[in-house]
Amino acid sequence: MTIHELVASLEPEINTIREQIHENPELGLKEYNTSALIEKELRAKTHVDRIEHIGETGLLVEIKGTKPGIAHCIALRGDMDALPIKEDENHKLRSRTDGIMHACGHDVHTSILLGAVRVLEHYRNQIAGSILFFFQPSEETLQGGKLFAESPKIDFHTIDGVAALHVTPDLCAGKIGVRYGAILGSSDELTITVKGKGGHGAHPDTVIDPILLASQIVQALQMLVSRELAADQSGVVSLCSIQGGNAFNIIPDSVVLKGTIRALDSRVREHILKRIPEICKGVAAAGRGDAEVSIKLGPPPLINDSQWVDRVKRCGSKLLGHENVIELEHPSMGAEDFAFVMQKAPGVFVRFGSRSEGGPYGGLHSPHFYCDRKALTTGILTLAGIALDFFGVDFE
């Protein structure tokens, strides 16, 4: 049986699992039923060598190869959590949980990883070493990847490489996209508390206006990107929330700004993180106020390893056809907690198409997001192909 025949034979079962997960979405760190379903399937239909819990809902699965030789190891990841979004009622396959849906394709990722387990078991006797599978919770909080990156149950010194896939509606189902170098940005949370002195709106000379200072800080932070980064450097400082005051004629004591910081290069990230507190405090001080800056660090930029990108292009061309392997021109300022794992080992992050040929565009994190069933086969072939290419298995 060829790998295409094997995947085709498993696809109906995997699609059934995907439908169950999609209809019963769970938010990050609450994926109890999803985790239990995957564990039940693994115990009933596979002969994996290890199943361990990472946190309350994560699963670490291992297949040990039986081929003699120097042992190597690869890790593959699929995330499981959904988003607090109400799904489009016109979707044929839709969430049964009001206000929660798989709007980022993690139901597909989880199902593909399960399919990869089923496929790679068939090649056990051609593998010298181990394949690890990370069924990861809570990617949407950008913290779930840390559970695996920091778990004492995983010895990253023995892992030669890691790989993960993520759907994208920018490509049609059947195609994959990969990129050399940075493919996703870092993501850090910013909170700025601007402190002034409140009072009557009719007498601004008697107050220190934090609303005015906050507006000046918003402007100044945009100059950080436009005037302190070189033209070939990328960074984003987006202030997405401003809260202060509750009456039309009362100037408040303080204003709170919240936002996100993104960068594709660690040095750019460090510069932005250093300058934000300096700018905020300087602007506030010029207006006789003060600013407290709190930054919660998230994942670093996600940088693909060149050799692993070569591997994806090589096995993708064999399994999907050269015309279906796209080299992505631009990175995204979106972020991924898989970057925490890729700090531990070199690897690759691959996009794969979710949109139906000629079908509507349903953006990620949108009530209208959907994934063409054809993407399941593409994802399983790609993820399994990466592992088989790594172990030098002839899978054509």
Q: What average pLDDT does range 210-222 have in this prediction?
A: 98
**Residue 234 pLDDT > 90, yes or no?**
yes
Output the CA–CA distances (angstroms, integers) from residue 60 to 13, 148, 166, 253, 331, in the order listed.
21, 9, 19, 50, 29
For all residues of the chain together, what is the average pLDDT?
Answer: 98
Mean pLDDT of 300-309: 98
Annotated binding site for Mn(2+): 104, 106, 140, 166, 365
d(CA 186, CA 42): 34
Query: For the whole model, what pTM was predicted?
Result: 0.96
pLDDT at residue 4 in the model? 98
The binding site consists of 104, 106, 140, 166, 365
- The CA distance from 238 to 99, in Å, is 26
Provide the angle, in degrees to the nearest 10, between the axes of the packed helices 106-121 and 374-390.
50
Q: Which helix (H) or strand (E) holds 78?
A: strand 72-79
Strands (E), 250-300: 250-251, 254-263, 290-296
pLDDT of amino acid 378: 98
CATH topology of domain 1-183+300-389: Aminopeptidase (3.40.630)
Tell me what pLDDT residue 241 has.
Answer: 98
Q: Above pLDDT 90, what percent of the chain?
A: 99
pLDDT digits over 349-377, tens only? 999 999 999 999 999 999 999 999 999 99
> In this structure, are residues 246 and 237 in contact, taking their beta carbons and an 8 Å threshold?
no
**Element holding 326 (H helix, E strand):** strand 325-327
- Please tell me the predicted confidence (pLDDT) of residue 340: 98
The answer to whether residue 396 scores a pLDDT higher than 90 is no
Q: What is the mean pLDDT of residues 290-313?
A: 98
* Residue 243 confidence class, pLDDT cut points 50, 70, 90: very high
| 3-class DSSP assignment, residue 246 | coil
pLDDT surpasses 90 at 342: yes
Residue extents of the structural domains in the chain: 1-183+300-389, 185-296
DSSP string, 179-236: -SEEEE---EEEEEEEE-B-EETT-GGGSB-HHHHHHHHHHHHHHHHHHHS-TT--EE
pLDDT, one tens digit per residue, over 100-131 is: 999 999 999 999 999 999 999 999 999 999 99
pLDDT tens digits for 38-52? 999 999 999 999 999
- Residue 395 confidence (pLDDT): 82
CATH 3.30.70.360 holds for 185-296: yes
Average pLDDT over residues 210-232: 97
> Is 323:176 a contact under the CB 8 Å cutoff?
no
The two beta strands, 176-178 and 347-355, are antiparallel
